[in-house]
Amino acid sequence: MVVIALGQMRRRPAAFVGLAVALFLTIGTVTLFGSLFAADLTAPEAARKAAAGPGVMVIAGAFGEIAVLVAFFVVVNALGFALRQQHRELALLRTVAATPRQARRLVRGQVVATTLLVTAPGWIVGAVAARRFLAELQRRGMAAPGVRVPGTPVPMLVALAAVLAVGLVASAVAARRISRIAPAAALTAGSTENSRTGTPRLLAGIAALVGGALLLRLAATRPAEQPDKAGQAALLGSLVLLIAVALAGPLAARALAAVLGTPVRALAPGTGWLADANLRGYARRLSSAVVPVALLVGLSGTMVIMTSTAEQAESMTASSVTSGTDVWLRQVEFTLLACFAAVSTVNTLVAVTAARRREFALLRLVGATRLQLLRMLTAEAVLTAAVGVLLGAAVAGAASAAFSTATTGSAMPSVPAACWWIVAGAAALTVPGILATGLRAVRGPAAQLVSGGHE
């Protein structure tokens, strides 16, 4: 099984490279904040009390709570997609007498192998980032000079254990469907996409939606004197709402694609119709591409709008409690979250498009030209970006409204012009990413690609 697992990873490098990057960033992030916690715990009592700010542990907790959750969200999304790309191969193994237990063991082996491959680089990056972050906090007076990052390997081992635990649980859930059904049915399911959203997944999505709404209500009812608590609740609520989007993604994506696809079909009757049919017919694939875009727009938009709203609230009360350090901390948090979301977006879009080489080859065999395929991909890319931006904007709008209610008393937040740059950035990652991968995917002899000569 080890040989087969490694062979599958070599066969589909695009999907596993994306998973490896997500795991690398997650290990680095958990190591970073774990090292900061360790620095505060091992620091002398006098050094901890000498800090002018809230302390290293409080800052690390406020940052790490959201950053680690986002990191695991990105890992689960990348892992689920990597396994869906192997659906047909796993089904073929089932037809040649592989047991469900062996199929699950193969998937676990891939997760462990990918994790161990990126563990050492993730540890190094996390440890270096922790020291630099602590040094900057000390320079700004937020941490005492006597606080040092200890040389203990505990934060690194905790990071590895946490990532492995999340990866193995997520892989078990993802591999459950293919390992439980009959081999012949698994092979049939691997060649088609089930358009129905399972009841457990739908119920989980509803639960996440309710949880996100409760968190936003909590944020909206915070006193105006507690903008930090309102901001953390709103940001956490936006992440939970994005999880709801991921769980109910096929339904939401198909509905929005149907609405947005109407003008596309009218403007480009041929390639526009085909693009719209592809997106609506493969809702799970569309959801995989849309969720990272929504994550990028939702989290980045929430951060930018909340920062602008907080500044507006301070100007209304003629106070200035926001220091240069506060602004720097917000910028660091925004950069970290945007980096995760951008990496997830690029990884997923490249893998989704690269996995369609056989589909493109079939279209070429029935008469489609490369130019027509690229036009179809352009229409799909625009629709994918539009659906992701709309879903992310809805989440950012709800979270920002809750924060604005707490800080200004009005549900109308201050929306800065930087939000348009977020939208432009999401489009710049989505459309060129799909087209660049599509250009490579339509190359090669179509007959050979259809017969499985290349993947």
Buried b (16+ CB within 10 A) or exposed e, 157-190: eebbebbbebbbebbeebbeebbebebeebbebb
> Over the chain, what is the mean pLDDT?
80
Contacts of 378 (CB under 8 A, 6+ apart): 271, 431, 435
Please, which pLDDT band fits residue 50 given cuts at 50, 70 and 90? low
What's the mean pLDDT in 367-384? Answer: 84
Q: How far apart are the C-alpha atoms of 162 and 26, rounded to whole Å?
A: 10
pLDDT tier for residue 374 given thresholds of 50, 70 and 90: confident
CA 262 to chain centre: 28
pLDDT value at position 124? 95
CA angle, residues 202, 208, 213, in degrees to nearest 5? 130
Average pLDDT (334-358) is 80
Phi-psi group of 409: left, alpha or beta (phi > 0 → left; psi -120 to 50 → alpha; rest → beta)? left
By the 8 A CB rule, do 222 and 368 touch?
no
Share of the chain above pLDDT 90, in %: 18
User: What percentage of the chain exceeds 70 in pLDDT?
Assistant: 82
Per-residue pLDDT of 290-321, as tens digits, reads: 888 898 899 889 989 988 888 887 776 655 55
362 neighbors 91 (Cβ within 8 angstroms):
no
Distance CA 11, CA 14 (A): 9
pLDDT reading at 175 higher than 80:
no
Lowest-pLDDT range of 128-132, 239-243, 262-266, 360-364? 262-266
**Contact assessment for residue 29 and residue 71, using Cβ atoms and an 8 Å cutoff:** yes
pLDDT at 347: 78
Q: Please report which confidence band the pLDDT of residue 182 belongs to, taking 50, 70 and 90 as the band edges.
A: low
Decide if pLDDT at 392 tops 90. yes
Q: What sign for the dihedral angle of Cα 308, 310, 316, 319?
A: negative
Report which DSSP code applies to 451.
T
- The CA–CA distances, whole Å, from 225 to 262, 314, 414 equal 47, 11, 18
Tokens of 84: 């869906």
According to DSSP, residue 410 is labeled -
pLDDT(174) > 80:
no
Query: Is the pLDDT at 186 greater than 60, yes or no?
Result: no
Provide CB contacts within 8 A for 105, sequence distance 6+.
1
What pLDDT, on a 0 to 100 scale, did the predictor assign at position 266?
75
The pLDDT value recorded for residue 454 is 47
Predicted local confidence at residue 83, as pLDDT = 75
Region 113-131 average pLDDT = 92
DSSP labels, 308-357: HHHHHHHHHTT-----HHHHHHHHHHHHHHHHHHHHHHHHHHHHHHHTTH
How many other CB atoms are there within 10 angstroms of residue 121's CB atom? Answer: 13
pLDDT tens-digit series, residues 251-263? 877 787 778 777 8
Kindly tell me the sign of the dihedral angle through the C-alpha atoms of 89, 91, 95, 96: positive
119-147: average pLDDT: 88
Of 94-98, 181-185, 446-450, the least confident: 181-185
The reported pLDDT for the residue numbered 48 is 63
pLDDT at 405 over 90: yes
Q: Give the angle 152-158-163 at the CA atoms, nearest 5°.
A: 145
User: Phi, psi (5° rounding) for residue 419?
Assistant: -65, -35
Q: How far apart are CA 315 and CA 398, in angstroms?
A: 23
In Å, how far are 96, 235, 296, 302 from 336, measured between CA atoms? 45, 14, 11, 14
Measured over the CA atoms of residue 165, residue 171, residue 173 and residue 175, the dihedral's sign is negative
Q: Which whole number is the average pLDDT over 132-145?
A: 84
- The three-class DSSP label of residue 300 is helix
Name the one residue in this structure whose structure tokens are 């972050």. Answer: 133
